[in-house]
Amino acid sequence: MFVGAMRILGIETSCDETSAAVVEETGDAARPWAIRSNVIASQVPIHREWGGVVPELASRQHIRDICGVVERALTEAATTWTDLGAVAVTQGPGLVGSLLVGVSFAKAAAVAAKLPLVAVHHLAGHIESLVLQNGEMPLPAVVLVVSGGHTSLFRVDAPGRYELVSRTRDDAAGEAYDKVAKLLGLGYPGGPVIDRLAQTGDDRAIALPTTRLTHADRNAPELKGDLDFSFSGLKTAVLRHVRSRRPAGSAAQDAGPALPDSEIADIAASFQRVVVTVLIDRLFDAARRFQARSVGIAGGVSANSRLRAELQARGERRDLPTYLPSLQLSTDNAAMIAAAGLRKFREGATASLDLNADAALALP
Ligand code: KG4
Ligand code: ZN
């Protein structure tokens, strides 16, 4: 039987990736975890046909994939069920039918293998991807989680303690990428294709608005103002521009691609410049306000090449250490869930077997 550092199995099924991973403790406080395996079965080809994630198709595909993905994660990690110390699973937020597959599987596995169960918040997982990749961040830190479902700024004063500073009032940044790609006729998901096309476009070609929110949101009083995000106006501005460039009354007005490639590249570059500028400005505003000793960006959009480059450049100018996950750890994966689960387990936070998926789970 295996004796040694504790290993945990992580399971992630909150959206359109079925993922399982084995992560091990290192005993090194500065770099606490090592990835033994991280298997990701992406459903992107299934949802691409529909232009976005179809929840019912997602949960059905999770059911088909989960057993094989977990088996592969254990095999690749040279780990058996008896080598594990716990099972961690994403409890929420996400698509409820998708979350339920992971939560049900994790509960059954915990009972069958007599292992403790740990419930993980999806965004805590994204934040932990930074530590998994780079080791512990100097605290206090400010972390931006920016994905298809979230654009949220967190203050981290102590390891594993996350305080929400601000979030988007409407679309998430990744959602804006996906919607703009759709209206340009570029397919799903939008982030990677816009990122690629933007590299050949002129980022000043089109004037697009930057939203700055200065007052509290009456509908959500917890949103106070100047560090919040908003991307729906930007998306609408792109839509208006695209319509203005197509012949009035033409059938192609809302269906692309009717514009020349170079013009699409200019739109992609101009859109990306605004999104990245807003994200970086708010992050560094928050860092100054909270006297942060480091800043990080996690979540699917942190794979963006311009965002990565500008984070590093601004950090160097401000003499502030910057943190990013690897590209594989940027988008949804179970290694980050396993790492966040290990932290919670060491704090003594295990879940009971009546754990339920929570599509709108809050953090903390
Ligand atoms: O974290 P994630 O895998 O899933 C959620 O929790 O939402 O993020 C997916 C999002 C999608 O909206 C996708 O378009 C975006 O991340 N994304 C990118 C890039 N790669 C993925 N956005 C901008 N640039 C990229 N290179
Ligand atoms: Zn995510």
The CB of 322 under 6 Å from ligand 1? The reply is: no
Is residue 55 predicted with pLDDT exceeding 60?
Answer: yes
| Ligand 1 site-directed mutation target among 19, 177, 178, 310, most atoms within 8 Å of CB | 177
Looking at 74-88, 213-227, 247-261, 271-285, which range is the least confident one?
247-261
Q: Find how far residue 59's CA is from the centre of its chain.
A: 19
- Flag whether pLDDT at 287 surpasses 70: yes
> Which pTM was predicted?
0.94
Band (98; pLDDT cuts 50, 70, 90): very high
If one compares 347 and 253, the residue with the highest pLDDT of the two is 347
Nearest CA to ligand 1 atom 7: 148
Q: Is the CB of 15 under 6 A from ligand 1?
A: yes
pLDDT of 294 higher than 90: yes
Mean pLDDT, the chain, as a whole number?
93
Determine the Cα–Cα distance for residues 255 and 242; give it in Å rounded to an integer: 10
Residue 110: is its pLDDT beyond 80?
A: yes
Question: At residue 213, does pLDDT exceed 80?
Answer: no
Q: Is 304 in the pocket of ligand 1 (CB under 6 A)?
A: yes
The residue among 318 and 251 whose pLDDT is bigger is 318
Average pLDDT rounded to a whole number, residues 121-138: 97
The residues whose Cβ lies within 5 A of ligand 2, an ion, are: 147, 332
Q: Which ligand is nearest to the CA of 146?
A: 1
pLDDT tens track for 342-364: 999 999 999 999 999 999 999 87
User: Residue 351's pLDDT is what?
Assistant: 98
What confidence category does residue 2 fall into, taking pLDDT thresholds of 50, 70 and 90? low
Query: In what order do the strands lie in the sheet containing 322-323?
Result: 161-167, 151-158, 141-146, 294-298, 322-323
* pLDDT of the residue at 222: 61
